[in-house]
Amino acid sequence: MLINPAWAQTPGGGAAGGGIESLVLIVLMFAVLYFLMIRPQMKRAKEHKGMIDALQKGDEVVAAGGMLGRISRLNENYVTLEVSDKVEVQIQRPSVQLVLPKGTIKNIQ
């Protein structure tokens, strides 16, 4: 005839490959993702929040975008930076990226 007969595969001829191995692989991949990406990001966010909460008047900071200034006023949501003599800029607290050591900015009187 024109059509060849189809023969079924014998039982136990090949492993299915599913089951517990794939579940262990997924759990292992999630563990690696957690320890390499999620956990360090949460640690950085916690450190940044602590730094934002510890801001004080007179601290020298770097804002997002690279603006340098000395904190002249603080409130709950905003920080006022003195960037030059009698020149002040108001920014949101979370946009403060880095607190500099005292005396870093010398040209602000």
* 38-75 residue pLDDT tens: 999 999 999 999 999 999 999 999 999 999 999 999 99
Q: Give CA separation, 88 vs 30, 70, 84, 91, in Å.
A: 47, 9, 7, 10
13 confidence band (pLDDT: 50, 70, 90): low
Assess whether pLDDT exceeds 80 at residue 17.
no
Contact 61, 51 (CB under 8 A): no
Assess whether pLDDT exceeds 90 at residue 7.
no
* Predicted pLDDT of residue 12: 57
Q: Calculate mean pLDDT across residues 16-37.
A: 89
The mean of the pLDDT values for the chain is: 88
Q: 56-100 sits in which CATH class?
A: mainly beta
In angstroms, how far is the first alpha carbon of the chain from the final one?
101
